[in-house]
Each structure stands twice: as structure tokens, then as C-alpha cells.
Chains A and B, each alone.
Chain A
Amino acid sequence: MQLWMQVLIRSLSLFILIIFLARILGKRNIARVPPYRFIIYHVLAIIAALISVNVIPNLVNGLIAIGVWVIFSIAVDYLSMKSKWFHDLIHGKETVLIKHGKIMEENLQKERLTGEELLRELRYKDAFNLADVEFAVLENTGDINVFLKSDKKPVTPHDLSIKVAPQAEPQTVILDGNILNEPLASLGLNREWLCIQLENMGVSLDNVFLGQVDSSGDLYLDLFDDAIELPQPKVKEMVYANIEKSQANLMTFALETEDKEAKAMYTKNAEKLKELMEKLEPYLLR
């Protein structure tokens, strides 16, 4: 067989094999793997490349090498799942770099990290001021994670004691002009519902690039034709405004009427609506 034919066939079959092996090796963020995994990926890549361009002429030897690296990699994964001791042996333990706002210099030295490197990593986490950091840890992937002092953390609705409505994840029901049946069914909706919604908004299905249903059941659309201004759902705000208006009307009636009984009825109901507004505000406006 000619050399170029050999390279062609080897490359093609290795291409398929390597894609398949990458799937077996699992979903990992390549930029955030422990060092041993980084080495495994590179060894596999190099062996495959060498076989592919015929530097390793014996195909069997090459495949054995790939097999060993893949099998041991998976074995290490399983063992570290089963045994905490093994996990710590392979992955190492994370190192605390800052505790109670104080840098642990001996741990820094142990990891051979310089002060500059630590500060740079802290800046990545938006902690420019060391005084803001309560706790920082060096993960075994090499990332430094930062726990800010409680008065320097971003404000959440909980901190402001504001009640917000719980929200589930939105579901994508239209993609590239195609209706996705599975997410639609998981919402308990069907194609007819979607068609009616599209008709109400006055758009055709082929003009929709993306359609999402949020947890309250409202449909949000993005169209191919960006010139079309689409009214985005504002129904909840409208309901709230209507309740507010009715409440104001009832107050007016209470002031205008001379009938005592009617006055009492209007006032009572106006108060009820006021309470209702407070209760519904997180669900309708936030």
C-alpha cells in the first residue's frame, strides 16, 4: 500500500475513534480539569497524532497505548467516586489561602504561589480589595474561589426582604421556525395553543427564530424580521393596573354615596382590593 493511502485510512479511522473516546471520557470543562486529566488528554492526542501520520508504524501497539490510557482514566474516575481516600490521593485537597480575612502565607508557600498571582486571581473574582475577602480557597483545578465578607456581597431580594415570585426555568418551544413538541408537552400545552398565540400576535411560524414560554405561561418571541415591532406580553402589568383603578373607583364611590350601608360596603371592598394588590405585587410586577 502506498504511504499516502496508509495515512489517509489511519487518519480517518482514528478521527472517528478519538471522537468516540472523547465522549466516553466524559463531560469536563477542558480549562478546569485537575492536572492528571490534562496529561491524559494530551498523551491521548499525541499518540493518536503519531499513529495518524505513521510515526508509530505498528497500529496494534498504538491502539494498545490508547486503550491503556483510556481504561485507566475511567478506572481512576470510578475509584475516586467510590473511595474518598483515593479521591484525595489523585485529586489532592483544596488549599485554604485566606481565612478570616488573613492570608495564610505558609499555604501560599506550599503551593508555590506568589502574592502577585493570588492578587491577580482575586481580581478575576472582582475582589480588588483584599479587605473585602473573608475566605479564599485554591481548588485542585487551580482555580481560586472567593467568599466575600457579608457586607460586600451583592444584594439579593432576601437581603432587602422583598418577596419575589418563584420562577421555574423557561422552556424553548420554537427554534428556527420549528415547533419543539417535547418541551411543549412538558408544559401541558399543545400545538393548537401555540398557533392561537402566534395568531394573536400576528406572526407566522416561519418568521419565528426563537420562542420561549416562561414559568407563568407567557410566550416570548424573537423574529427573523427584526423590523417588526412585536408587543411583548404586558398582561400582568395590565391586570395590576386594573385592580389599582378599581380600588380607586371604589374609594370614590365610598366618598360620594350618602347611603351608610353602601359606604361601608365600598370601604370594605376597597380595603380588600388594597390587600390583594399587596399580595399580588410580587407575582404580577416582579
Chain B
Amino acid sequence: MTVVSQVKQTLASLKGVQGTLRLYSTQTRDKETESVFLEALETTEAIIQDLEKRIQVLEFQEPQYKGN
């Protein structure tokens, strides 16, 4: 497995985590819990953006693996 695809996999699983956290932030009935989940959403969002940027760089460097 190439580096790009590994990073992409991690990105995908983080996006999955984000989706579930978003679900819980809406369906929880406790205000404090909700704010913790929302905060977690922001953190994961920042990491996802960093990873996406990194994937662009990697794909630029190794265009032969693009799309993998």
C-alpha cells in the first residue's frame, strides 16, 4: 500500500468519526456533552484539512499514484 492511500484511509476514518460525533452532538440531551462534542468536531475538522493538504502535496510529488 502506498503512502498516499494510507493517508487517505486515515482521512476517511477521521471523517467517519466526525460524522458520528456530529450525530451525537445533535441527539444528546445534555448541554455540557453537546459542547464537548462540538469542540471535538472543530479539532477533527482542523486535522482533516491538514491531511487533505498533505494528500494534495503527495499526489503532486508522485502523480503516478494519483487516484489510488
A interface residues (Cβ-Cβ under 8 A, vs B): 165-168, 187, 215-217, 235-236, 238-239, 242-243, 245-246, 249-250, 253, 256-257, 262, 265-266, 269, 272-273, 275-276, 279-280, 283
Within 8 A of A (CB), among B2-60: 3, 6-7, 9-10, 13-14, 16-17, 20-21, 24, 27-30, 32-33, 36-37, 39-40, 43-44, 46-47, 50-51, 54, 57
Contacts of B50 in A (CB 8 A): 265, 269
Shortest A274–chain B CB gap in Å is 11
Contact A242 B13 (CB under 8 A): yes
Contact A216 B6 (CB under 8 A): no
Shortest A171–chain B CB gap in Å is 9
Contacts of A265 in B (CB 8 A): 50, 54
Contacts of A266 in B (CB 8 A): 54
Once bound together, how far apart are the Cα atoms of A269 and B6, in whole Å? 16
Given A165-B33, A215-B29, A283-B37, 9 new contacts (CB under 8 A): A217-B24, A217-B28, A217-B29, A236-B24, A243-B17, A245-B13, A253-B10, A265-B54, A269-B47
Contacts of A279 in B (CB 8 A): 36, 39-40
Chain A residue, CB-CB nearest to B48: A269
Contact of A239 among B10, B21, B51, B54 (CB under 8 A): B21
If over half of A's interface residues share one DSSP class (helix, strand or loop), that class is named, otherwise mixed; here it is helix
Chain A residue, CB-CB nearest to B14: A246
Contacts A239-B21, A246-B13, A276-B43: A262 and B33 contacting too (C-beta < 8 A)?
Answer: no
Contact B47 A249 (CB under 8 A): no
Chain B residue, CB-CB nearest to A236: B24
Contacts A276-B43, A283-B36: A246 and B30 contacting too (C-beta < 8 A)?
Answer: no
Contacts of B32 in A (CB 8 A): 166
Contact B10 A168 (CB under 8 A): no
Contact A280 B6 (CB under 8 A): no
Contact B30 A167 (CB under 8 A): yes
Report 5 cross-chain contacts, Cβ distance below 8 Å, ordered by A residue: A165-B30, A167-B30, A242-B16, A243-B14, A276-B43
Contacts of A243 in B (CB 8 A): 14, 17
Shortest B61–chain A CB gap in Å is 9
Chain A residue, CB-CB nearest to B27: A217
Contacts A265-B50, A265-B54, A269-B50: A168 and B16 contacting too (C-beta < 8 A)?
Answer: no
Contact of A272 among B7, B13, B29, B43 (CB under 8 A): B43
Contacts of A168 in B (CB 8 A): 29-30
Shortest B12–chain A CB gap in Å is 10
Contacts of A250 in B (CB 8 A): 10
Contact A280 B40 (CB under 8 A): yes
Chain A residue, CB-CB nearest to B9: A249
Contact A283 B29 (CB under 8 A): no
Shortest B68–chain A CB gap in Å is 16
Contacts of A238 in B (CB 8 A): 20
Contacts of B37 in A (CB 8 A): 283
Contact of A235 among B20, B30, B36, B47 (CB under 8 A): B20
Chain B residue, CB-CB nearest to A253: B7
Contact B40 A276 (CB under 8 A): yes
Shortest A124–chain B CB gap in Å is 36
Among A235, A239, A265, max chain B CB count under 10 A is at: A239
Closest 5 CB pairs of A and B: A217-B27, A249-B10, A269-B47, A239-B20, A242-B17
